[in-house]
Structure formats: structure tokens, C-alpha cells
């Protein structure tokens, strides 16, 4: 988590660039923020507890300028969100400023040994040891000092460092936390995410683990931490600033929900072949044989991506008859998992940076599995370290609660299941049917989005409740989990997702008129069963909001409120059914006055364990 930005140029003030860049990475953390800049050989720092808007207010009152600087927006790990714990952190001389994303695992031992050498610490952060360690190694060359200091550091870091005595040198380094170098015309940048730089440049270099960059107003060089020069490819970012603006929507989350008719199209653009009733996924080309002979697919992911994995499991087993297991990446990485020679690990991640997911992928690879990614962010660590994969092409997702990335993951999983199915049991006729149904999804999403006003109305009537139960069966059980997660994340309302039939094994005890039950009940093979589950809720006084197929009369009789979704093939239903649940959560959160795009305690990209 945490967002960092650094910039070096000559003859002009870069503080506004840093603060604007910070706003673009605020999704990474937003409990405190700070900036440091060097002017006339003097390092000045401004820090606040709270959001970047607070930092801007402070800068308006107490301006800072300089042609080199670093900035940070924090998601606290060590030490509460406070001004003193905010970054940049300074060394004992007040000349070195450092911003950090990650966790220094051996910080206690480092701090103790530095204290013994006379260093005095002000904050509770793990980060402060880094800057004191650099001070300890400093002999007139900040890049050399960073290199020497990092040799003794264990843990994850993306850092940017400046020294008041070297006002033309910006140093960045990474291990486990993302860091990208931006190449401007007369300006060089480092940042956690290209979003921070996109207004200024689309030419970037992605650093890999244990690499460093040293930038000056005249250029930059990349090296390993051992100081071996390395030449890195300059990559061109294809998306633009509009894609990270709200474009008239009150929140990014709502904008991203409304983009889904387009993003699901982009997810499979050029990947479905109508005539052959098949899918072609170029990034998996080299692994077709392995996929065709796979004994088992192990899906590894966290959060919303894990829910997509659960649906992917149903899709792949249904269409391709390959056994699939879905694991929380955080659990997989620390167990002693059995990996057989013909197992394939499928890694699902929007950001491509989630620490647990990355570590789980590396563990699977270490044990001999081929790791294939379904990733949204091009250039991300998982995208680069996987053995192959498919980009979801959903564009930047800024809202912390994932929406469009989820439906794009489902489209890609449906394409993958089709591809695997076609090389096994699925006939060309069935394949064509699936391709046609997938082609209909964008229009059907538009139909659901047109019902937003009605969903808003329902949301207002239920927003005061403090507990919700979400139920679904089959393909829609993971949809219930995702609907509940959306509500929890952004409205701070307790919500639980359950397989509808499991309700009677416990949660039914909770049901009364104060516990709204959201039931995902399209007309599929579980329809009759879920009607019974709804009866069970009704007879205990529960209030039901049902997601059901268009024209369904029976559910209308049972439910207090109904949101209809168009009909599609059963394995594609989750792509439609989740959309009203996203909107329901969104409107409940707005009604409750919650900060939708930046919910408390969360961060979009979880780069700590």
C-alpha cells in the first residue's frame, strides 16, 4: 500500500507535480500524507495526518518549493496515522528525506543497532530506520549510501530518497513493492504507479526487485543493488488521463460500474471466434499443451479476485471437466501445498501487486507449477513474473472496491473455460452458443444499469439496517459473497454471504425483520430450491431483496423488492447478477454518508502481508 512519488528537474518548482501525482495514487492509502523538497540546498518537509486535501491546505498556508522532491500518501502499518509517523521520514541531520512503501521486517534489530550508535528516532515507523541507515552509510554519495544501506535490509520496499547536499539526484529502489520510473522531457520521476505520472509522461521503465534508479535533470541510470549497470526497456503506457478522471460521475466507483458494458467487451476483444465457437488467448499460446493435459488448476487470489476464482472454478469444471481448486493466496503461501507435475497455477489479480498473491505464485512456481496470470495492470509484478497470462484490459480501476475488474476477470475466465472446453467436451455448436451469449453481455449490462434509479430507491429504504445476509446457489453463491463484500467494504455495514442452502445450518437464527436478505435467484437449475429458501426467510419475518430473471412472477410474490436481470447462460449469469449488487452497495454507502472511493482502513493495492 502507500503511494510514493518523486521528481527531479532543473529550474522549476515540482511540488505541484508531486501533490497532483499523490492524488493519483491516493487509492493506495490515505491516512496521512507529506512532501519534501530541496531549494537552495535546504530540505523542507510538510506532513499531515489525514488526506492529501489536508496536505494541500497546509501547503497553501506554508508553501514549499524546489526542483527536486519526494512525496507520500500512507496506509499505516507501523505506528498510528499521525503527523510524526507520516512520510517523508528524515535522518538525524535533517538533510536526507525518504518515502517508503512496504515493510522493513528487520527494523527492530536495525533500530536497536542504530540507537546504540547514537541515532535518535522520532516516529514509530519501520521506515525511519531506512533513512537513519542511509545517514550511517553516507559519505558524500547518496546513491552509494542507499545501496550500502539496503544491503542490510530485509523486507519489502519501494523507496525514493533525496539529500539536501545533492539537489540534483533522486534515488529510487525496489524490492517487493512496485516502482516505476517516468521519463519526461526535462524531468524524471519515480512513482508507485504510472497513474501518478500519466499527466507528464507515458514513457516509463518498470524496476524489478533488487534494482535501483538514479535520476538527475539530465537522465537516469538503472543498476542492480550490487551496482551492475542494467539496460531496461522503455515502455509506452497506452491509457490516458481521461481514464483516471471521474468524467462527471460523483465517485470513481460509480463511473467504473457504469463502464462495465465497455470493459467486458474489451476483456474479450479479438479473443472470441464465432465460427469456431472458440476462444484464442494469445498470452497462453505457449502453454496450450500444458493446459490441455493439466490434471488440476489451482486458482490463487485474494479478495474480489478470489471470488472471481470461485466462479472460474465452476466455469472450468463445468465446461472443461478439469478439476479446479481455489485458494486464498495468503493461506496457500504458508501451507505445505501438494503440487503435482501436471498442475497449473492460475493467478488472478487486478493490481498484479498483491503481496500474498505474488508470494503464492512464486511458491507454486518454486514447486514446479506453471503460473498463468489473469491480471489487469500491464507491467505489474505478477504480470511480469508469471509464465504467461491474459490481461483483462479493464483500464485503471481507482475505486478501492473492485467492480469492473471483477466482471472483466469473469469474462476472461469464461473465455478460458470455453477454450479449455473446446479442446475437450464442448462441441462447436455449443461453443458458438457460448460465444453468442458472451457477445450479448455488454447490452444486457446496459439494461441493468438503466435500472439504477430503482436500485437507488431500494438502497435508500434499506440503508439504515446494520446487518445484511446475501444468499445464492451454484454460480451465484460466489456472487452472494461478492455482494456482501461490496457492502462491507464501502458502507461499513455487516454483511455475510452464504450458500442459500447453508442458511438453515446457522444464519437462519439471525433472521428477523431487521435483517434484510439479498437473494440472488435467477431462473437456473437451482430456481425451485432457492424459492424454498426464500419461503424459509419469509416465514421468519425476513425482508427479501431478490435479484431475479426478467419476467419472473414467482419471486415477485415472495420478495419485498425485486431487481430483474436479463437471461443468459448459467455460467455467465454472475457477470450480470453482480452489477445490481455493486449498485446496491454503492447507493447504501452514499446514503450512509460514507467515503465510497476511499473506505476507512482499506487500500486498493495490498502490498503488505
Other Cβ atoms within 10 Å of 308 Cβ, number: 32
Other Cβ atoms within 10 Å of 345 Cβ, number: 26
From the list 287-295, 296-304, 335-343, 576-584, the region that binds ligand G6P by CB under 6 A is: 296-304
Tell the residue number behind the cell numbers 445464492, with chain if given.
Answer: 472
Question: Residue 264 CB, nearest distance to ligand G6P (Å)?
Answer: 17
Identity of the residue, 492 or 527, whose beta carbon is nearer to ligand G6P in the bound complex: 492
Q: What is the spatial distance between Cα 597 and Cα 386, in angstroms, rounded to a whole number?
A: 30
Q: Does 533 bind ligand G6P (CB under 6 A)?
A: no
Q: Does 264 bind ligand G6P (CB under 6 A)?
A: no
From the list 45-53, 219-227, 297-305, 438-446, the region that binds ligand G6P by CB under 6 A is: 297-305
Q: Does 392 bind ligand G6P (CB under 6 A)?
A: no
Residue nearest ligand G6P (C-beta atom):
303
Q: What is the spatial distance between Cα 2 and Cα 25, in angstroms, rounded to a whole number?
A: 8
Using DSSP bridges, classify how beta strands 296-301 and 343-349 pair: parallel, antiparallel or unpaired.
Answer: parallel
Question: Residue 12 CB, nearest distance to ligand G6P (Å)?
Answer: 35
Q: Is 302 a catalytic residue?
A: no
Q: Is 117 a catalytic residue?
A: no
Dihedrals φ, ψ of 373, to 5°?
Answer: -105, 145
Q: Does 330 bind ligand G6P (CB under 6 A)?
A: no
Task: State which of residues 67, 175, 357, 598 lies at the interface with ligand G6P (CB under 6 A).
Answer: 357
Size (the chain), residues: 609
Task: State which of residues 302, 311, 565, 590 lies at the interface with ligand G6P (CB under 6 A).
Answer: 302
Identity of the residue, 521 or 579, whose beta carbon is nearer to ligand G6P in the bound complex: 579
From the list 350-358, 427-435, 513-521, 590-598, the region that binds ligand G6P by CB under 6 A is: 350-358
> What are the residues whose beta carbons fall under 8 Å from the beta carbon of 74, sequence distance 6 or more?
2, 29, 30, 31, 32, 33, 81, 85, 86, 87
* Catalytic-labelled residue, pool 2, 187, 302, 594: 2
Q: Which three cell numbers stand for residue 57?
A: 491546505
Whether 237 and 194 have beta carbons less than 8 Å apart is answered as yes
Helix (H) or strand (E) holding 498: strand 494-499
Question: Residue 376 CB, nearest distance to ligand G6P (Å)?
Answer: 7
Q: Does 305 bind ligand G6P (CB under 6 A)?
A: yes
Task: State which of residues 15, 110, 204, 400 lies at the interface with ligand G6P (CB under 6 A).
Answer: 400
From the list 433-441, 469-477, 502-510, 598-606, the region that binds ligand G6P by CB under 6 A is: 598-606
Task: State which of residues 402, 407, 549, 598 lies at the interface with ligand G6P (CB under 6 A).
Answer: 402
Q: Does 74 bind ligand G6P (CB under 6 A)?
A: no
Q: Does 354 bind ligand G6P (CB under 6 A)?
A: yes
Dihedrals φ, ψ of 344, to 5°?
Answer: -125, 135
Task: State which of residues 38, 173, 198, 606 lies at the interface with ligand G6P (CB under 6 A).
Answer: 606
Task: State which of residues 127, 201, 350, 491 lies at the interface with ligand G6P (CB under 6 A).
Answer: 350
Across the strands, what pairs with 170?
215
Q: What is the spatial distance between Cα 241 and Cα 224, in angstroms, rounded to a whole number?
A: 32
Q: What is the spatial distance between Cα 320 and Cα 323, in angstroms, rounded to a whole number?
A: 9
From the list 46-54, 185-193, 361-369, 398-406, the region that binds ligand G6P by CB under 6 A is: 398-406
| Own/partner pairs, 270-274, CB within 8 angstroms, 24+ separation | 271/415, 272/415, 272/418, 272/435, 272/438, 272/439, 273/435, 274/432, 274/435, 274/436, 274/439
User: Would you name the residues annotated as active-site residues?
Assistant: 2, 604
> Which positions lie near ligand G6P, rule CB under 6 A?
302-305, 349-351, 354, 357, 400-402, 602, 604, 606
Amino acid at each position: 500500500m502507500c503511494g510514493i512519488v518523486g521528481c527531479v528537474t532543473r529550474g522549476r518548482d515540482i511540488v505541484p507535480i508531486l501533490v497532483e501525482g499523490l492524488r493519483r495514487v491516493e487509492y493506495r492509502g490515505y491516512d496521512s500524507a507529506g512532501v519534501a523538497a530541496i531549494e537552495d540546498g535546504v530540505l523542507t518537509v510538510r506532513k499531515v495526518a489525514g488526506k492529501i486535501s489536508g496536505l494541500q491546505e497546509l501547503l497553501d498556508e506554508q508553501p514549499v518549493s524546489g526542483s527536486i522532491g519526494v512525496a507520500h500518501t500512507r496506509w499505516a502499518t507501523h505506528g498510528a496515522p499521525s503527523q510524526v509517523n507520516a512520510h517523508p521520514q528524515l535522518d538525524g541531520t535533517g538533510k536526507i528525506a525518504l518515502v517508503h512503501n512496504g515493510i522493513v521486517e528487520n527494523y527492530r534489530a536495525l533500530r536497536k543497532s542504530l540507537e546504540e550508535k547514537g541515532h535518535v528516532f522520532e516516529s514509530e515507523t519501520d521506515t525511519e530506520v531506512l533513512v537513519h541507515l542511509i545517514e550511517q552509510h553516507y559519505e558524500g554519495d547518496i546513491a552509494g549510501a542507499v545501496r550500502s544501506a539496503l544491503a542490510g535490509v530485509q523486507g519489502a520496499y519501494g523507496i525514493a530518497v533525496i539529500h539536501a547536499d545533492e539537489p540534483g539526484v533522486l534515488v529510487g529502489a525496489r524490492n517487493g513493492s512496485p516502482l516505476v520510473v517516468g521519463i519526461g522531457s526535462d524531468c524524471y520521476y519515480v512513482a508507485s504507479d504510472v497513474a501518478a505520472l500519466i499527466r507528464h509522461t507515458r514513457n516509463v521503465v518498470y524496476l524489478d526487485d533488487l534494482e535501483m534508479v538514479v535520476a538527475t535533470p539530465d537522465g537516469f541510470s538503472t543498476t542492480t543493488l550490487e551496482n551492475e549497470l542494467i539496460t531496461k526497456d522503455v515502455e509506452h503506457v497506452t491509457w490516458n488521463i481521461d481514464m483516471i478522471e471521474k468524467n462527471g460521475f460523483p465517485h470513481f466507483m460509480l463511473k467504473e460500474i457504469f463502464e462495465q458494458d465497455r470493459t467486458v467487451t474489451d476483456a474479450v476483444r479479438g479473443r472470441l471466434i464465432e465460427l469456431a465457437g472458440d476462444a484464442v488467448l494469445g498470452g497462453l499460446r505457449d502453454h496450450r499443451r500444458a493446459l490441455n493435459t493439466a490434471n488440476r488448476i489451482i486458482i490463487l487470489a485474494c479478495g474480489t479476485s478470489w471470488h472471481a476464482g470461485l466462479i472460474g472454478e465452476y466455469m472450468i469444471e463445468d465446461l472443461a471437466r478439469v478439476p479446479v481448486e481455489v485458494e486464498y493466496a495468503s493461506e496457500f503461501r504458508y501451507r505445505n501445498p501438494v503440487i503435482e507435475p501436471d498442475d497449473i497455477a492460475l493467478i488472478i489479480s487486478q493490481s498484479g501487486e498483491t503481496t500474498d498473491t505474488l508470494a503464492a505464485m512464486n511458491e507454486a512456481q518454486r514447486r514446479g507449477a506453471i503460473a498463468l496470470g489473469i491480471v489487469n495492470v500491464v507491467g505489474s509484478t505478477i504480470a511480469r513474473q508469471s509464465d504467461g497470462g491474459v490481461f483483462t484490459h479493464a483500464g485503471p480501476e481507482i475505486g478501492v472496491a473492485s467492480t469492473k475488474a471483477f466482471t472483466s476477470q469473469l469474462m476472461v475466465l469464461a473465455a478460458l473455460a470455453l477454450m479449455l472446453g473446446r479442446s475437450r467436451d464442448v462441441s462447436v455448436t455449443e461453443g458458438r452458443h457460448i460465444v453468442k451469449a458472451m457477445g450479448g453481455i455488454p447490452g444486457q449490462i446496459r439494461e441493468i444499469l438503466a435500472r439504477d434509479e430503482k436500485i437507488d430507491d431500494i438502497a435508500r429504504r434499506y440503508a439504515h439496517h446494520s446487518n445484511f445476509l446475501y444468499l445464492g446457489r451454484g454460480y451465484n453463491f460466489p456472487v452472494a459473497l461478492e455482494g456482501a463484500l461490496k457492502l462491507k467494504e464501502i458502507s461499513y455495514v455487516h454483511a455475510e454471504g452464504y450458500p442459500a442452502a447453508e442458511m438453515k445450518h446457522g444464519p437462519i437464527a439471525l433472521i428477523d425483520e431487521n435483517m434484510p436478505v439479498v437473494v440472488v435467484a435467477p431462473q437456473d437449475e437451482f430456481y425451485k430450491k432457492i424459492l424454498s429458501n426464500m419461503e424459509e426467510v419469509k416465514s421468519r419475518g425476513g425482508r427479501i431483496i431478490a435479484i431475479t430473471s426478467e419476467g419472473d412472477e414467482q419471486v415477485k410474490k415472495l420478495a419485498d423488492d425485486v431487481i430483474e436481470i436479463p437471461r443468459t447462460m448459467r455460467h455467465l449469469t454472475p457477470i450480470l447478477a453482480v452489477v445490481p449488487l455493486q449498485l446496491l452497495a454503492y447507493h447504501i454507502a452514499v446514503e450512509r454518508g460514507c467515503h465510497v472511493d476511499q473506505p476507512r482502513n482499506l487500500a486498493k493495492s495490498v502490498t503488505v502481508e
